[in-house]
Amino acid sequence: MERKKENNYFHQLSKLRRRPLVIAGPCSAETRGQVMETARQLKDLQVDIFRAGVWKPRSKPGTFEGVGTEGMKWLQEVRQEYGMPVATEVARPHHIETALKHNIDVLWIGARTTVNPFAVQELAEALRGTHLPVMVKNPVSPDLSLWAGAVERLWGAGLQDVAAIHRGFSSYEVSQYRNVPLWQIPIQLKGLYPDLPVVVDPSHIGGKPDLILPISQAGLDLNFDGVMIETHLNPTEALSDADQQITPEALGDILAKLQVRSLPDAAFISRTEELRQKIDRADREIIEALARRMRLVEKIGEDKRENNIAVLQPERWQSIFETRKEWARQMEINPTFAAELYELIHLESIRVQTEIVEKNFPAS
């Protein structure tokens, strides 16, 4: 269901500017004056799309949930006054209906909506036949299939101009991030759909201003197509997400510092191809070593079956867990990576041995 890059609205806009996309604006449209003045300053920074939420899905009732339809009028004024495309979040079909009436240029589906396939399908049906550009934030939980499914539902409704927004994932673990980036998930999404534009949202990932630059740079280094950065005239007085918004002046400083990596030349491609061939051979050796290991695991499983021994031996697993981390450390490999790798190997070993041992039991 993949769509071609050259036909996508977001790629066309980026190609026209000859640089990554910049989407910026306040988390929430709060007043007409705030919206118009923010847009004026962002226009001077050559922001490509002005963003502002008018419906805000909040965790608790009684907090600021957006100005609603009134904010749509302000977004219309931004387009008319400054010529910038305008974007807002939608979560219900009637939001889309209101956005269409006010000629909103771009919509996005938020993380709390992406988790619900029924809700996404309703939005896709409401958008059928509109040809509006739509961006899809990753779900709150690290679930690639939900994110990919939301993209495919929009494609299935006939929408051509779809993009993804990487805004990080919720986690109970203590972290420097508001939402941990887990870069492997958007990378996997790009692997599924190589021509799908992906924009990084460092405001929601970082949750604080000093992380916006490094997260934005990381996204561009991964060949993402742009950034979405929440920008407020006075962040400390913002009615939503005050801690993660920055001023237009700070945004200008960040944009000036971002580096766009060069495209590879023929010599680089040749050198890289030679190294990739070596990596392929190394990977083959790794797979062959894993196959030898699993054959040994099978022999141990057969021995446990014959002697009526339990499959799981906790002390053996603890020994593997500690020694492999130490071996990795000695060979200058990240010990955490080695531990995670061997946890997967151990789980597969347990699965293989369990199948062998269970051969003793007759089928029910």
At 63-84, the pLDDT tens digits run: 777 799 999 999 999 999 999 9
Residue pair 84/58 in contact (Cβ under 8 Å)? The answer is no
Tell me: pLDDT of 212 over 80: yes
Banded model confidence at residue 292, pLDDT cuts 50, 70, 90: very high
Tell me: pLDDT of 62 over 80: no
Domains of the chain: 5-257 (3.20.20.70), 266-360 (1.20.59.10)
So what's the pLDDT on residue 5?
A: 58
Tell me: pLDDT of 287 over 80: yes
Mean pLDDT for the chain overall? 91
At 84-118, the pLDDT tens digits run: 999 999 999 999 999 999 999 999 999 999 999 99
So what's the pLDDT on residue 364?
A: 47
So what's the pLDDT on residue 6?
A: 59
In Å, how far are 44, 81, 103 from 97, measured between CA atoms?
31, 23, 10
So what's the pLDDT on residue 156?
A: 96
> Of the ranges 3-12, 170-179, 283-292, 319-328, which is most confident?
283-292
Tell me the CA end-to-end span of the chain in Å, nearest whole number: 43
| Contact residues for 134 (Cβ-Cβ < 8 A; gap 6+) | 106, 107, 108, 109, 127, 154, 159, 161, 162, 163
Mean pLDDT of 207-234: 95
Quickly count: other Cβ atoms within 10 Å of residue 326's Cβ. Answer: 11
**Which region holds residue 332: left if phi is over 0, alpha if psi is between -120 and 50, else beta?**
left
Of residues 17 and 281, more confidence is placed in: 281
At 45-61, the pLDDT tens digits run: 989 999 999 997 766 77
